[in-house]
């Protein structure tokens, strides 16, 4: 177990709806990154939060947004869901001193 | 050009075989690389880190060729339990750890 937990584990939403995914980082880790993994592809970097501030963003539209809280847990929000948003969403936590990013088990989102 | 490129396979090998995966990266300034293992419908887990010319851990050997900008993973004496997808990973430019670029993964199946 990595100590990184994500909720929910599975989710089905309708096109156009909004979704919030949650991640609790490993104790002592102040950095959380979110990734989207489509079927048959590697994870793609969405954005990263460091000490409650966005610290870099990948090639995702503004309808993908996030938050990090004082306890370093994080949320990923996706508005106006599209069918192509169906994927495994992974959260990874790390600290500045670590050499490894620890992944949660992921949230599998299906948009119908 | 993608940050990390790797052959998706699939590689199908018998138990006991030796198999090698290669991947190329585009950022010549990257200092460290990683191989992650991902089982079906699970999160990626760190298999090996590569910081200099190479790293060996039991049956697994990772090598880095900076001149050609490629990383390899060699698995000797393959076991059935080695069946998984292997992801080649490079860190983002000038980023804190956790912002990673993944290849699409190479699928390995080891058969009895």
Closest residue in A to B47 (Cα–Cα): A100
pLDDT band for position A107 (cuts 50, 70, 90): very high
Q: How much is the average pLDDT of B99-106? A: 90
- Greater model confidence, A56 or A83: A83
Is the CB of B101 less than 8 angstroms away from the CB of A92?
Answer: no
A93 neighbors A72 (Cβ within 8 angstroms): yes
pLDDT of residue B87: 96
pLDDT band for position B95 (cuts 50, 70, 90): low
For residue B58, what are the contacts with CB-CB under 8 A and spacing of at least 6?
none
Model confidence at B98: pLDDT above 60: no
Model confidence at B8: pLDDT above 90: no
Calculate the dihedral angle through the C-alpha atoms of B66, B57, B3, B86, rounding to the nearest 10 degrees.
140
pLDDT of residue B106: 94
pLDDT of residue A97: 54
pLDDT of residue A99: 60
Is the CB of B43 less than 8 angstroms away from the CB of A103?
Answer: yes
Which chain B residues have a beta carbon less than 8 Å from that of A34?
none
Express as a percent the part of chain A with pLDDT over 90.
75
Model confidence at A98: pLDDT above 70: no
Q: Is A30 on the interface with B (CB under 8 A)?
A: no
Residue B13 and residue B109: Cα distance in Å, rounded? 6
Closest residue in B to A105 (Cα–Cα): B43
Residue B6 and residue B20: Cα distance in Å, rounded? 12
Residue B39 and residue B48: Cα distance in Å, rounded? 16
Q: Is the dihedral of CA A56, A103, A36, B94 positive or negative?
A: positive
From the list A32, A101, A106, the residue facing B100 with the nearest CB is: A101
pLDDT band for position B96 (cuts 50, 70, 90): low
Model confidence at B65: pLDDT above 70: yes
Q: Mean pLDDT in chain A?
A: 92
Is the CB of B99 less than 8 angstroms away from the CB of A93?
Answer: no
Q: How much is the average pLDDT of B40-62? A: 90
Which chain A residues have a beta carbon less than 8 Å from that of B99?
33, 45, 48, 55-56
Q: Mean pLDDT in chain B?
A: 89
Chain segment A33-67, per-residue pLDDT in tens: 999 999 989 999 999 998 899 988 999 999 999 99
Going by C-alpha positions, the residue among B10, B63, B66 that lies closest to residue B35 is: B63
Is the CB of B41 less than 8 angstroms away from the CB of A41?
Answer: no
């Amino acid at each position: 177990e990595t100590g990184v937990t994500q909720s929910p584990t599975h989710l089905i939403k309708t096109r156009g709806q909004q979704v919030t995914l949650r991640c609790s980082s490993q104790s002592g880790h102040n950095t959380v990154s979110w990734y989207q993994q489509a079927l048959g592809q590697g994870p793609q970097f969405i954005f990263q939060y460091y000490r409650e501030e966005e610290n870099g963003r990948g090639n995702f539209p503004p309808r993908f947004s996030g938050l990090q809280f004082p306890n370093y847990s994080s949320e990923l929000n996706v508005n106006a869901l599209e069918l192509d948003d169906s994927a495994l969403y992974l959260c990874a936590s790390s600290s500045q001193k670590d050499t490894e990013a620890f992944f949660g088990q992921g949230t599998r989102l299906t948009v119908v | 050009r993608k940050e990390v490129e790797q052959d998706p396979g699939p590689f199908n090998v018998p138990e006991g075989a030796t198999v090698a995966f290669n991947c190329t990266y585009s950022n010549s300034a990257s200092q460290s690389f990683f191989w992650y293992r991902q089982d079906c419908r699970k999160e990626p887990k760190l298999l090996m880190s590569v910081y200099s010319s190479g790293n060996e851990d039991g049956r697994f050997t990772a090598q880095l060729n900076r001149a050609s900008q490629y990383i390899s993973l060699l698995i000797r004496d393959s076991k059935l339990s080695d069946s998984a997808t292997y992801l080649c990973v490079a860190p983002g430019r000038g980023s804190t750890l956790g912002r990673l670029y993944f290849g699409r993964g190479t699928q390995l199946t080891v058969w009895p």
